[in-house]
Amino acid sequence: MNILLINHYAGSPKYGMEYRPYYLGKEWVKNRHQVTIIASSFSHVRSKNPEIDSEIKEELIDGMRYIWIKTPRYKGNGIKRVINIFSFVFKLIKNSRRFSKEIKPDVVIASSTYPLDIYPAYLISRFSKAKLIFEVHDLWPLTPIELGGMPKWHPFIIILQIAEDFAYRKCDKVVSILPKALDYMVSRGLKPEKFVHIPNGIDIEEWQSFTDPLPEEHKSVIERFKNEGKFLVGYAGSLGVANALDYFVKSAKYLKDLPVALVLVGQGPEKEKLQRYVEENKLDKVVFLPPVPKKSIPELLDKIDIFYIGWRRSPLYRFGVSPNKLFDYMMAGKPIIHAVEAGNDLVAESGCGMSVPPEDPIAIANAIRKLISMSKDEREKMGLRGKEYVIKNHDYKILARKFLEVINI
């Protein structure tokens, strides 16, 4: 079968996030399917973008054919990002007949955050007489309305809404990363029988093969805390607004009597603000470290005693959440504190930690206290439940097979 997946932000281990298209595609290739991924030449979420000197460039990555569409660079979420989006979509539409003839797909998957690429995906599927799958990562335009505060009458929102409704009417199936989105999608015109939930996941085999040692900076800081007899409560990932790390850092104010240190590993727009707060409040139990290479993540997580992941309080999360970093935490087999109010909660479902209300530093501090007061054996059993859960439910081998079953229905 020829599978064409369109994802504006698609990446790979060579370029960085977004990884989902790569890991699904890699499993499909193992099952002897041909996989083509069409993506934008520039994405803000990649650590590195491909070098491209023509409008369209092809590259072979681990058996998959990547087609890069040249788009302008941008920073932030302003007009330049919108221009980047429209550039990608228009060039795809312009070349839709060409891609149909060259790729000859049996199925076309429109899989970007925003719904506008449903239009070129629809054209290619019609030219090729292929099935059309609409994969939903985030609910746009609801996300910029509820999280970004954009009005429903904004021209960009109206354009996105028309595209979303078109996708639900025209697709053969919707694959939703969000588990609780069915009712919303039905309200926008989707037939209920078209809905399938396939969450995010992790490549278990790859994760277990990562054995690179920690950078010296990380190693020395962690060893110092360990020698002082401190429990390490860690966060590893992007330091952004959505991660609600200000509440995690503030929880240190309520832990001054405990032998504990909060370790934040990563980079992001909130880092300087968080560091200033720590300095101003003399929170010497909070330390910031730079990101580690992907292959060093298991070694890093093995050194941490408890993990934290949090969200801001938002009605948008009523549809569910599926954070990639949570699967890394669960694979490490350590207890997790999950500050969340959402339609689902993998920590509670798997029994691998404690869930607390979002935006509540006292609740976070109390959860840390409770976990530290447990025996080592209790914490190990708790962490093991998370590891067993993610291996059973979120291995990309399993998710890719489920996706193929959706295509073949």
Write the pLDDT tens digit of every residue in 97-121: 999 999 999 999 999 789 999 999 9
Residue-number span of the structural domain to which 351 is assigned: 206-393
Whether 224 and 254 map to the same domain: the answer is yes
> What is the per-residue pLDDT for 409?
67
Grade residue 33 by pLDDT with cuts at 50, 70 and 90. Answer: very high
Give 369-376 contacts, CB < 8 A, sequence gap 24+.
Answer: 369/255, 369/258, 371/306, 371/335, 371/337, 372/231, 372/258, 372/260, 372/306
Cβ neighbours of 176 (radius 10 Å): 24
The confidence score (pLDDT) of residue 206 equals 95
Which whole-number Å values give the CA distances from 287 to 220, 265, 283, 322, 403, in the listed order?
12, 9, 9, 27, 41
**Mean pLDDT score, 223-238:** 95
Strand partners, 174: 134, 195
The answer on 133 and 259 residing in a single domain is no
Q: What pLDDT sits at residue 31?
A: 93
CA distances to 41, 84, 199, 237 from 97, in Å: 20, 22, 32, 40
CATH code, 399:
3.40.50.2000
**Which residues are CB-neighbours of 261 under 8 A, at least 6 positions away?**
225, 230, 231, 232, 233, 285, 286, 287
How confident is the prediction for the chain on average, in pLDDT? 95
Q: Where are the alpha helices (DSSP H) in 73-215?
A: 79-94, 96-103, 118-128, 142-146, 155-170, 182-187, 204-209
Task: Give the pLDDT confidence of 179-219 residue by residue, as tens digits.
Answer: 999 999 999 999 999 999 999 999 999 999 999 999 999 99
Q: How many domains does the chain have?
A: 2
| Residue 316 sits in the same domain as residue 257 | yes
pLDDT digits (tens, 9 = 90+) for 347-398: 999 999 999 999 999 999 999 999 999 999 999 999 999 999 999 999 999 9
| Residue 408: per-residue pLDDT | 85
Structure tokens at 141: 């335009």
Question: Is 92 in the same domain as 149?
Answer: yes
16 pLDDT above the threshold of 90: no
Share of the chain above pLDDT 70, in %: 100
Cβ 321 vs Cβ 340: under 8 Å: yes
Residues 137 and 179 placed together within one structural domain of the fold: yes
Res 76 pLDDT > 80: no
pLDDT score of 146 = 87
Whether residue 54 is found in the same domain as residue 130: yes
- Are residues 254 and 111 located together in one domain of the fold? no
| Same structural domain, 6 and 54 | yes
Cβ atoms of 355 and 347 closer than 8 Å: yes
Segment 275-323, tens digit of pLDDT: 999 999 999 999 999 999 989 999 999 999 999 999 999 999 999 998 8
pLDDT value for 123: 98
Q: Answer yes or no: do 336 and 404 share one domain.
A: no
Same domain, 116 and 42: yes
Over the stretch 117-138, which tens digit does the pLDDT of each residue have? 999 999 999 999 999 999 999 9
Residues 171 and 214 both lie in one domain: no
- Verify that 228 and 372 share a domain, yes or no: yes
